[in-house]
Chains A and B, each alone.
Chain A
Amino acid sequence: MATTETLDHAQEVSYLGAKKGIMSWLVTIDHKRIGVMYLASVLATFTLGGILALLVRAELWAPNITTEAGEAVGALFSADVYNRLFTLHGLVMVFLFIIPSVPAAFGNFVLPLMIGAKDVAFPRLNLASYYVYVIGTVMALYATIAGGVDTGWTFYTPYSASVSGPVVMMVMAAFVLGFSSIFTGLNFIVTIHKMRAPGMTWQRLPLFLWAIYATSIIQVMATPVLGITLCLLAMERAMGVGIFDPALGGDPVLFQHFFWFYSHPAVYIMILPGMGIMSELVTVHARKTIFGYRAIALSSIAIAVISFLVWGHHMFVSGQSVYAGMIFSFLTFLVAIPSAIKVLNWVATLYGGSIQLNAPMLWAMSFLILFTIGGLTGIFLGTLATDVHLHDTYFVVAHFHYVMVGGTVVAFFGALHHWWPKMFGRMYNEFWANISAVLFFIGFNVTFFPQFIMGSQGMPRRYYNYVEEFEVFHKISTSGTWLIGLSFIIMAVYLIQSLRKGEKVSANPWGARSLEWATQSPPIEHNFHEIPTVTEGPYDFPKAGGKKAH
């Protein structure tokens, strides 16, 4: 590790105390403060999306039936309310939480630190991206209060073009949020290219940053397509231009092509940063060099490229041609390989390590198990013949929650526990952190595993009501959500406790090798007194009883 600081000298004023007052936060151009503001925002939207999920699952506790006495039982909400709840759950979790979560919160905070820079390339653009995010969020919340939308987060036409409600406002919110995403991506690409410290070659770039780099490329290239699509939809609603409406000569399936041309790459916008986090967690908390650095770095880039060519696998039964389906199925299998390579590399990294079973490692191990289930069950869906049966059933719901939550969200909370001491200079209660991680793992599987079974048995998704044979699966699934909720309540308590009176930590409590740990915790306002010179890789850990491998 190329450290220019000594670890033991007296704490200097950190970025948290460098300036005082609410304005010093609201107009800050410090990437660390912007990262913290993003972190607070995405934790708030995650809480909102989580509450919506609890309400969706509560409605599904029992089917709505008529008793012999003629009484209607089982319904908590009307169909209209339920449809708004699941739509908002999807919109909030995708656009307000997952997409900005890792890049905008942790990427912002650690990216400049990891490459030995003082800030990102465009600090003001960085602040602008935050306010664009806030404006988009306010627009989405306004649309929710003004009646809400029930189109599903996918806004499929012709339903979204014809249904009443503030659909245009919600679509414009997603449009605005896209710019926030583009600004962040652009900033990171330039920062990684131009601001690496001396000696920080591409081969010494932490794998988290390779993943953020690949993510940023997708964000910059794919998000404009979403913007165009949503604009067309708004024009269709407002002016009746007839792009998607068959009565006006349009094609409703065209919307699906446009939408997934963005939204499939967006799946990788969501998962790649989580994969980047994994490479940090499994090395630092096992004191082990990464296995297959080059394969992991290049697989991120491979995923970014191939991700643009697989959108049609969302449309195998949409009426697209058999041969289009064939090509998309084949390319889908190709994109699976780089993800599989990464998982195997992380598992191999644990071999011979010194594995600390702390909260970051428990979240990382949860990722390995849950993402593996998510990835393997994707094979059923990439395969044409089985997808015909499973498409738009709960099997798909379970699959993408294993990938998005079991992957990205689990990695997000691993990162939160990994970088928390760096961000706030204080430790959390490790016992309760472990309890929370394990409780989440159990609750998650109880919630989502039964959904695979009911899905392959034929239970369609986005159903307000269901036939009684699925009741037992829904009951198990709903009870799992309470365990997940409990695990997050525990987490909120010990994290708030940590902020107030957690034990202060040294610059490098985990014994990590990457540069963000070379400055004090929390870092000083300008990150480093002088720009460090890098002489080693980010995972060059010592070997027991011998010299380093590299």
Chain B
Amino acid sequence: MASETAQGSFWMPPEASTFAGDVDALFDFIYWLNVFFFVAITGAVVYFAIKYRRKSDDQLATSQVGHNTLIEAAWTFIPLLIVIAIFVWGFRVFLNQSVAPDGAYEVKVTAKAYLWQYTYPNGAVTGELFVPEDTPVKLVMSSEDLLHSFFVPDFRVKSDVVPGRYTTVWFEAPDPGEHVVFCTEYCGAGHSGMMSKVIVLPKDEFQERLEKDFIDGDIPPAEMGAKLYTSAGCSACHSINGTRLVGPSWKGLFGTERKFADGSTAKVDENYLRESILQPMNKVVEGYPPSMPSYQGQLKDVQIDALIAYIKTLK
């Protein structure tokens, strides 16, 4: 059962948004209703099967009652009243889930196969979503290609992300922490790798990092690159162990000779990697789909340098 702890429970993940508790309270109510009716119905089936078991071949039924208006009316109208109550309860919580409070902090979300991009009011772009604690955050989302769906289990929020229109979700996270983001609308080979994170920061730390565009300049480039490998969404399509995913593996990539779909070849060096990150359609490796989105505008030079440094370490 979902309890009101931040640890999560047998059924539910941790409650990390302000309305997660409301959703879980309703979940619990329906759950116990389920348990009650399941035990009653299964109990009756098992009890009858034992009590009225045929013991001899010619045994007849002891009752041939064909209907009972009172009982039938009762089990029509009582469940009807119960489900109408659940409907009303569910709609009220849903309204709260659907309508963001005025003045919520807005972040633009762009989904593309297979990564999430978050654009902040100051123009900063990240591959993981940073939000301040104790602040309503409204995400205005659209897709550049296919249907995707933005799902944060810990927040109990989900919405499809559709090309050609905007959808929104909102949440308020009371405590700092990290929460996984899944894509929940099937979008092809990289669907299950299309993950991201929501990172809830204390308000002042959020401001501080927002001003630096969330770039952590104090760590060695290869280490920053290793972090970007997952946080910028590279890992959805490129393995670092030689496995073929949607795109080529990065293992042992640097310094090899690549053959492209147009028949030309090139050696993997710094310029090739930079071009492939910013204009991926210029050189598509033979045998792979031309499906990589451009990172132009999302990754700054220091981050591209870091990724190249990281790829060099993957022998």
Please list the residues of chain A having a beta carbon within 8 angstroms of any beta carbon in chain B: 64, 66, 70-72, 75, 78-80, 83, 150, 152, 156, 158-159, 162-163, 246-247, 251-253, 286-295, 317-319, 322, 325-326, 329-330, 333, 336-337, 340-341, 343-345, 347-348, 350-357, 365, 368-369, 372-373, 376-377, 379-380, 382-389, 391-393, 453, 456-458, 460-467, 541-545, 548-550
Contacts and interface: CB of A to CB of B under 8 A. Distances in A.
Contacts of A80: 189
Contacts of B79: 336-337, 340
B65 interface: yes
A495 to B, nearest CB: 24
Nearest to B240: A66
27 contacts: A83-B188, A158-B163, A159-B146, A246-B163, A252-B163, A288-B61, A290-B66, A326-B94, A337-B80, A350-B52, A351-B52, A352-B61, A355-B54, A357-B53, A376-B34, A383-B86, A384-B90, A385-B93, A385-B94, A386-B27, A456-B12, A458-B182, A460-B151, A541-B61, A542-B60, A543-B61, A549-B65
A385 B99 CA distance: 13
B45 A350 contact: yes
A389 B156 contact: yes
Contacts of A251: 164
A549 B66 contact: yes
B26 interface: yes
A376 B83 contact: no
Given A75-B243, A380-B27, A389-B23, A355 B11 contact: no
B309 to A, nearest CB: 19
Interface stretch (B70-78, B123-131, B293-301): B70-78
A10 B184 CA distance: 63
Contacts of A344: 41, 75
A174 B87 CA distance: 35
A467 B84 CA distance: 37
B160 interface: yes
Which 4 A-B pairs give the minimum distances between C-beta atoms? A246-B164, A352-B63, A458-B153, A549-B64
B245 interface: yes
Contacts of B189: 79-80, 83, 150, 464
B241 A288 contact: no
Given A79-B192, A383-B90, A352 B159 contact: no
Nearest to A539: B66
B90 A159 contact: no
A383 B240 contact: no
B42 interface: yes
B27 to A, nearest CB: 5
A291 B66 contact: yes
A295 B240 CA distance: 62
Contacts of B185: 156, 392
A16 B66 CA distance: 38
Given A380-B27, A384-B90, A385-B89, 19 more contacts: A156-B186, A158-B163, A252-B162, A290-B66, A291-B68, A318-B162, A322-B98, A347-B41, A348-B71, A354-B62, A355-B48, A356-B54, A372-B41, A383-B87, A386-B23, A388-B157, A389-B157, A462-B186, A549-B66
B60 A354 contact: yes
Most buried by A among B22, B38, B64, B188: B64
B67 interface: yes
A159 B186 contact: yes
Contact of B149 (A288, A317, A373, A457): A317
Interface in B248-269: 251
A365 B4 CA distance: 37
Contacts of B76: 295, 337, 341
A344 B184 CA distance: 36
Interface in B87-115: 87, 89-95, 97-99
A353 B48 contact: yes
A376 B27 CA distance: 12
Contacts of B162: 252-253, 318-319
A330 B87 contact: yes
A70 B157 CA distance: 36
Given A66-B241, A379-B83, A388-B23, A465 B52 contact: no
Given A385-B22, A392-B149, A458-B13, A354 B80 contact: no
B49 A357 contact: yes
B191 A463 contact: yes
Contact of A369 (B45, B67, B165): B45
Nearest to B243: A72
B246 interface: yes
Contacts of B67: 291-295
Given A357-B49, A465-B193, A295 B72 contact: yes
A19 B132 CA distance: 80
B13 A159 contact: no
A393 B239 CA distance: 25
A494 to B, nearest CB: 22
A530 B18 CA distance: 73
Contacts of A380: 27, 30-31
Contact of B41 (A289, A343, A463): A343
Contacts of A354: 52, 54, 59-62
Nearest to A287: B61
A281 B212 CA distance: 71
Nearest to B179: A458
A355 B52 contact: yes
Nearest to A376: B34
Interface in B168-201: 180, 182-193, 195
B49 A544 contact: no
Contacts of B86: 333, 379, 383
Given A544-B59, A544-B60, A389 B45 contact: no
Contacts of A391: 158, 184
A9 to B, nearest CB: 23
B112 to A, nearest CB: 12
B203 interface: no
B305 interface: no
A251 B23 CA distance: 31
B75 A457 contact: no
B153 to A, nearest CB: 3
Contacts of B147: 156, 158-159, 252
A296 to B, nearest CB: 10
Nearest to A543: B64
A514 to B, nearest CB: 16
Contact of A351 (B38, B48, B160): B48
A121 B250 CA distance: 66
Contact of A341 (B72, B90, B153): B72
A382 B192 CA distance: 26
A351 B245 CA distance: 58
A465 B245 CA distance: 11
Interface string B36-61: 01100110110011001110000111
Contacts of B95: 322
Contacts of A252: 147, 162-164
A150 B188 contact: yes
B164 A152 contact: no
